[in-house]
Chain A
Amino acid sequence: MEKRNIPYIISYIFELLFVFLFALFYRQPLFSVLLLMFLTIPFISLYLTYIETKHLSVSVECKNSAGVMGEDVVFLIRPEHKGHIPLLNCRMDFFCDNLYYKNEKKNEITFPAEKLKDREISLPYTVSYAGMIVFKAQNIYIPDYLHLFTFKKEIDICIEIPVLPNETPVKKSVIKRPEYAGDEDEISNMDGEKSRDVKEIREYRPGDKLRDIHWKLTAKTDEYMVKEYESVKELFITLLPELVKDDLQDTLSSFYSIGKMLVRENEPFYVCVETGPGYFEKVLVTDDSSLMISLYKLYEAPVHEDGSAYDEYAERSGNPGAYYRTKGKLV
């Protein structure tokens, strides 16, 4: 039973009492029938609601795979009722928030569930900011026909829909690929941004560098094994978006615009995302889908009051030269 059932119960008791007193004093058959009605209907109502609740299921889906700022993201609630008697007051509590701007305000929607009618309730949300929109619904509440008791049914629905930032034109000159500094030895001066794929693992030959020894394999095989690298001459651009509260939307927009531009230019790049305080994750972006993945990760990243992520990362990595920090409209 819920709190909201109490006024209904009280009013029902009053109505029952009214009929009861009339029946007592006047003993008219009409009042007897009304009394009978008032006494039996709650049981029937509860019983039928209990039975019908078993036949009810609710699904929610989003019409859009991703949202666009300024446009609607439409969630569709589909109550499916296989019972014969309609449930007229199904209530679903749900939260729908942009993860960057959580307000945790509860929403509740009351809808009927009927067997004969395939109802598709659309909740069109206009979105004004980029971010991850999360739609959550845990339970569905079904009061009986007299509102004297409420049955609960778990549904556990969680839908995440990203809203893409606006893409603004970016000049190619803004972003330059870091140049390859020289021979193999100089790679070490760069912060690992030379791509070095392992070509093969072979036995140790004199002259091999100590750092190329594959220690794990050596331990297993009891022979020195050495990794032989195949040098890749490109160095990747790394974007490090600074998620600062005041410039959040601009940062996202800049990042997204640059990302799109780089993808169009077939320029692979890394996105450095802060996954937690002091923890960073680098995501390689080579196409639109990997750009989306990086964006999703970014949407879940913490937002700071001031921009310090870049500095922190730069301090740790030592040489920030190859990084592009996006903060607000600045790159």
Chain B
Amino acid sequence: MFRNKKEEKLREKELFETGLYLNEITDGNTDRRGILCFIRGILVFLACYSTIGAVVSSFGLEFEVLYVAAAMLVLAMLAAFVYYNKVTFYLGYAFLFFILIVLAFAFYMYINSGFQALLNEMRDAYTAFFDLPAGRMSEEMIPDRLKTVSYMMVFVAAVFSIFFNITISGYMDLPTTFLVSFVPLMIPFYIDKIPEKGYLVMLLSVYISVLLLSRSGRFTLPYRYKKDMPYGKKKEKKKNSFFYMASVGGMLHMVFAALILSIVFMFVSGTVFNDRFSTKNVSNPVKDLSDKYVKMIVTGGISSLLNRYDARGGLSKGKIGGIRSVNPDFETDLMVWYDPADIDYMYLAGYRGVYYSNNEFKSEWPEEDIDPIYTETFMTDPLPPEVMEVYKEIMDADLVAHGEEAENTYSALYGNRRFMSVRNVDADESVIFEPYYTTGVSIESSGTDMSRYTVGYYPYDPYPEQPDMDIMKPYTDYANEYYRTYPESLTETLKNTCENAGIVTGGDTLENAARLRQYFINEFRYTMTPGAVPYGEDAIDYFLTRQHRGFCVHFASSAALILRYAGIPTRYVEGYVMSENDITKRLSDDRVLANITDASAHAWVEIYITGYGWLPYEFTPPAEEEVSSDVNLPFFLNGLITETDRNGGTQGGTDDALDNVGRGKKGRTSISYIYLPFVWTLCFLLIFVVLSRVIGAAVFIAKKLYYEKKGDYEKALNLQNDLLIKTIKKKAKIKTKAFFIRDEEELLSACAVAFPDKINKKDIRYLCDIVYSAFYSGEKMNESSYVKAKKIVGKCIVLLLKYRRKISTIVRSQ
């Protein structure tokens, strides 16, 4: 009889202490857990069908509506009936997963093709919306989209029915239900693809149902209680609570009411689904940030969110094609102590790319390309220490002979040698980051630990006087031989770019470089999210011919090859750019401490100038306003109240959508947008009140006419008299339920005294008599009496409404 010993003990205790024990409560209703599961199944079906259908239909894909709906209904029911009892609960989900696996294996080709079809449509729509370069289309192995999309929908429904079943049948929880449907729904909504309203009505009705059911009643899962146990109990110290588990009628009512409400909502607010509310024109920090990530996903797939710029040392080590986007973590990579003097910024070179092949600027030449002439002198690694010392200086543009002489010359030209101490915190430990014009590196720790070192250097001068140096001759030959090579496959592209940029082969080196830089500024756009390079494409070719956007790596690598084509020896360099902004502390000895984060990681080009050496040159155009990734509360709130007007237009005529985040959008304060739902709400409430009044009046008139036609004058008069009493009660603010005819007579007589010309006491008496007789005598009322009484009622109501103030005082005084 009892569930367990605990309950039995409790019963005994209560019977002993109080002499009373409340057994299981019943309410005469038979167990209808089947219907309860069925209603849940309907909700799960509506949620699944509306979510998946909305996504698919908004991208213009067609499917077998009937079959898909039927399959989804079956899946939803299977899921909902998992909660029928304990056995189904423990086995049901395993069964559903089994179905899922069977579906996946049996219709793999169809499902996969359906997915690809949807993905292709989505990619098309997104690239069109954001004006992104068209990506590759996924291959659909089965071209019959009607079939493949339908199979795919059923498969997705199998997955979603499990999720929705947990959120709806299991917990009846709105936020989680909303979140499950939110992600897929956002795919079309994000780019103003509005699904058919039928789906939205279904979805809204699910939301409202879940909201109402979860809050307004108790809808405990059937499996959690025994059969024939409609009430649960909760015993606390101060009170015992008993509550009903579920109500079939209540659930049905709520679902029905939710459906009606959602239709009304869609009807009232249907106008929001038009171009006026296009999200294309929305710009605020949050939207811009999410736009950025969405574009990233569209161009590079979801993996692009993970495949970020490797923050280790800020180096990609010459890899150009594999990076879709960079997202600095703003963590310190290097701590640098140095004497800033009058230097605005300083390059710290870490990696030099010399040979370009397969989307990569490699740091070494391929063995087969090495000319034996240079092998001993420039390329053998490791070189003998003394040779290394010499050429290192040369390669770093030290024009002067090494050693003491060089120092003296430099001191004469630029002042005293300075020292920079570097501590590698989170950069690539295999790399030494050095400024230009170094005179030697002293590594503090021994062996392979290169985390702390000191570098001597001279202040940077971009283009000093050119001393005549014969020592550079062999190196110049070497540079001309090797640092002007480029892949033959890029010849056409490089040629066209040189022409477009106005670069003259054999012309002045720095003039050509300046033209190229200007060309980049005019025609290209800096972005940290350029997107992926299509498979099989050359990164530089894609960048120069189609992409026209990129970050420093793209600009530097391309510039290096373009200049090589123009006959200028170049090297591709990666490292850091230090600026005054990085200085975090000023020390007592005029030195400063700079914390260099990976946001300062950079790539640039070294141009070889005969008689001078390697000159670092900047080809990356200045970055325009980027959406900050530093998300914080003010950042979010900023979007609510500030107007984000970025109508700056696109620079240089390029139309780079990925960088148009927020640009070109109509500036409108977000807060100004929100008043519309408030206005609608008020309108809705107003309509609701007016409609309820109108419907009430219509029902009243209809009833009256019906009774009159039927000759049931007693009922017709009672109906009108009720209205009169209601009016009197309202005026007199009478709250008591009992209101007798004598009260009515008394109050109306008082009115008759106040307005003798409008109504007389006799009429009131007549009315009350006839009403009394209609109530109690059981005699049939004739038409003439009814008409007379009706007139009196009408007169009274008009009087009460017309002279409301005066009458309310009279009535109240009574």
A interface residues with partner B (beta carbon < 8 Å): 8, 15, 18, 20, 23-30, 32-37, 39-41, 43-45, 47, 72, 85-86, 88-89, 96-98, 100-101, 103, 105-112, 114, 116-117, 119-129, 131, 133, 143-147, 163
Contact = CB atoms under 8 A, between A and B. Distances in A.
Given A24-B639, A96-B22, A146 B216 contact: yes
A28 B673 contact: no
A109 B25 contact: yes
Contact of B15 (A109, A110, A128): A128
Contact of A32 (B23, B190, B272): B272
Interface string B245-283: 001011001100100010001101100110001010010
A33 B674 contact: no
B681 A20 contact: no
A72 B684 CA distance: 53
Contacts of B266: 33
Nearest to B281: A27
Contacts of B265: 33, 36-37, 40
Given A44-B688, A109-B25, A96 B20 contact: yes
Contact of A36 (B19, B174, B211, B681): B681
Contacts of A129: 19
B581 to A, nearest CB: 30
Contacts of A37: 204, 207-208, 261, 265
A144 B269 CA distance: 25
B265 to A, nearest CB: 6
Nearest to A79: B27
Interface string B657-701: 000000000000011011011101100110010000000000000
Given A23-B674, A32-B676, A39-B678, 19 more contacts: A8-B215, A25-B287, A37-B208, A44-B261, A72-B23, A86-B253, A88-B216, A89-B217, A107-B240, A109-B25, A110-B243, A110-B244, A111-B244, A112-B247, A122-B25, A123-B22, A124-B26, A125-B23, A133-B20
Q: Which of B19, B175, B208 has the most CB of A within 10 A?
A: B19
Contacts of B772: none
A116 B16 CA distance: 41
A39 B28 contact: no
A86 B20 contact: no
A183 B788 CA distance: 84
A125 B269 contact: no
A32 B269 contact: yes
Chain A to chain B: the 7 pairs with minimum beta-carbon distance, closest first: A129-B19, A88-B217, A145-B216, A29-B272, A128-B15, A110-B243, A106-B239
Interface of A is mostly: mixed
B677 A101 contact: no
A112 B215 CA distance: 13
A32 B676 CA distance: 8
A90 to B, nearest CB: 10
A30 B189 contact: yes
A18 B496 CA distance: 53
Contact of B28 (A15, A27, A120): A120
A117 B261 CA distance: 24
Given A25-B639, A112-B249, A126 B685 contact: no
B774 interface: no
Contact of A27 (B241, B250, B673, B685): B673
Interface in B633-668: 639-640
B22 A146 contact: no
Nearest to A145: B216
Given A36-B265, A36-B677, A85-B257, A26 B287 contact: yes
Contact of B18 (A86, A103, A117): A103
A116 B247 CA distance: 12
B215 A40 contact: no
B200 interface: yes
Contact of A39 (B216, B257, B681): B681
Contact of B671 (A24, A98, A109, A110): A24
Interface in B220-246: 231, 238-244
Interface in B184-217: 185, 189-190, 194, 200, 204, 207-208, 211-212, 215-217
Contacts of B15: 126, 128
Contacts of B190: 26, 28
Nearest to B239: A106
Contacts of A34: 204, 207
A52 to B, nearest CB: 11
Interface in B48-95: none
Given A24-B640, A37-B265, A119-B27, A88 B680 contact: no
B249 A124 contact: no
A29 B240 contact: no
Contacts of B750: none
Contacts of A89: 216-218
A133 to B, nearest CB: 7
Interface string B273-314: 100010100101011000000000000000000000000000
B803 interface: no
Given A25-B670, A30-B185, A15 B175 contact: yes
Contacts of B194: 29
B229 to A, nearest CB: 13
A114 B244 contact: no
B670 A125 contact: no
Contact of B215 (A126, A128, A147, A163): A147
A329 to B, nearest CB: 19
A25 B284 CA distance: 7
Given A30-B200, A114-B253, A125-B22, A108 B670 contact: no
A71 to B, nearest CB: 11
Given A89-B216, A117-B249, A24 B673 contact: yes
A24 B670 contact: yes
B23 A114 contact: no
A154 to B, nearest CB: 12
Nearest to A18: B175
Interface in B525-568: none
Contacts of A26: 190, 279, 282, 286-287
A47 B250 CA distance: 18
Given A25-B286, A146-B212, A33 B217 contact: no
A13 B94 CA distance: 38
A63 B548 CA distance: 87
B21 interface: yes
B216 A147 contact: yes
A32 B239 contact: no
A116 B277 CA distance: 44
Contacts of A20: 674
Given A29-B273, A86-B249, A88-B216, A41 B261 contact: yes
A100 B678 CA distance: 59
B17 interface: yes
A43 B261 CA distance: 13
B445 interface: no
Contacts of A128: 15-16, 19-21
10 contacts: A23-B673, A25-B287, A28-B189, A32-B272, A32-B277, A33-B266, A98-B19, A105-B240, A112-B217, A117-B29
Contacts of B207: 34, 37
A33 B676 contact: no
A250 to B, nearest CB: 14
Interface string B508-528: 000000000000000000000
A236 B22 CA distance: 42
Contacts of A131: 19
A97 B18 contact: yes
Interface string B152-196: 000000000000000000000011000000000100011000100
B28 A122 contact: yes
A33 B204 contact: yes
B36 to A, nearest CB: 13
Given A32-B269, A146-B212, A27 B279 contact: yes
Nearest to A25: B286
Given A24-B674, A36-B268, A114-B249, A29 B216 contact: no
